[in-house]
Amino acid sequence: MTIQKTVLRALSGEALPVPPIWMMRQAGRYLPEYKATRAQAGDFLSLCYNPELAAEVTLQPIRRYGFDAAILFADILLLPQALGADLWFVTGEGPRLSTITTADQLAALKPAADVNDHLSPIYETIKILSKSLPVGTTLIGFAGSPWTVATYMIAGQGTPDQGPAHALKDENRLVFDGLIDIITDATIVYLSAQIEAGAEVIKLFDSWAGSLHGDDFAQYSIAPMRKITSALKSAYPDVPIIAFPRGAGEKYGNLHTAIGADCIALDDGVSADWAAKNVQTGGCVQGNLASRHMVTGGDALVAETRKIVDAFSGGPHIFNLGHGITPDADPENVQLMIDTVRGI
């Protein structure tokens, strides 16, 4: 059955007449059925750690839209929690964590090898999904890339410019490098367990890669992703990997080789025409419709969707947004996008 899955075919390098499609954050707050399940769970973390309910919200957009892939419902900050960081969510404001900025705080983290006990509910969710998804739907597991995860662990929350992480990197490289290393090693453990549970594809989200410049981009975005990819490929050579160094701009050009990924996901800061000439030549690409079209809809959504499909039609392509869908999106616009991609 797996050979018929369009996402896996695209990831293997096949150019398909109609690109497979899924959407970042496709299970989320724009859907009324998600809101109902979230209310049933009580809070966000309880939803993440409840395998039955997490599987349910993962399946909801598959039932509604028939996406070609389902992505595990979880959060990139579950891994810091598994390492021993305190994690909580403030309503309307987002995640908060205890901070890691000193050698003593770094030393107090759990060993990377010990994260699986805490994360076992996530693996149970994957096992449920493996049995529940339609036969043609690919199951994607994921994790945050070490740089992005580190920015939250250092600041204790999201920041507009990742300033606290940059400051620690510049002022105490020993602690910063140690944190990157432990996140990298723990991510390999985490993703390996996801694959063992049934994930067919892995995606690495480096949402804040664009704030790294010069040698820092290579050292702290690309190198950790390359280490993770190399370890996973060594153990699971048939499992494709999608890398998303958001905000990479012109540096997207050589990243298939630099990271060792089967697919590079693109944000909407680069044009599809440019990416077809400079990124898709290295392998499969994913993207890259601007998320705002899921709010505004209309002729602009249709035109931009067709433009992206046409630009990438000469090579392997998975249609997606340039970032996650936002809570104010109209579900009807998602259907319009899908119908446009599929030529309905």
Q: What does the pLDDT look like over 256-283, one tens digit per residue?
A: 999 999 999 999 999 999 999 999 999 9
Strand partners, 239: none
Question: Closest Cα partner for 24 from 329, 298, 258, 332?
Answer: 329
Say whether 173 is catalytic.
no
- Confidence at residue 131, expressed as pLDDT on a 0 to 100 scale: 98
Residue 6 sits in a domain of what CATH number? 3.20.20.210
What is the per-residue DSSP string for 111-129?
PGGG-HHHHHHHHHHHHHH
pLDDT tens figures, 13-32: 999 999 999 999 999 999 99
pLDDT in tens, the chain (344 residues): 445 899 999 999 999 999 999 999 999 999 999 999 999 999 999 999 999 999 999 999 999 999 999 999 999 999 999 999 999 998 888 899 999 999 999 999 999 999 999 999 999 999 999 999 999 999 999 999 999 999 999 999 999 999 999 999 999 999 999 999 999 999 999 999 999 999 999 999 999 999 999 999 999 999 999 999 999 999 999 999 999 999 999 999 999 999 999 999 999 999 999 999 999 999 999 999 999 999 999 999 999 999 999 999 999 999 999 999 999 999 999 999 999 999 97
Token output for 39: 């209310």
Catalytic residue among 75, 206, 262, 267: 75
Catalytic residue among 38, 226, 246, 292: 38
- Residue 2's pLDDT is what? 43
pLDDT of residue 4: 85
- Whether 38 is a known active-site residue: answer yes
Q: What is the number of domains present in the chain? A: 1
- Output the pLDDT for position 1: 42
Cα 1 from chain centre:
25
- Strands 263-265, 241-245: parallel, antiparallel or unpaired by DSSP? parallel
Assess whether the previous peptide bond of 288 is cis (omega < 30° from 0): yes
In terms of Cα–Cα distance, which of 324, 326, 310 is closest to 142? 324
Catalytic residue among 34, 152, 190, 220: 152
Q: Active site includes 152?
A: yes
- 254: containing domain: 2-341
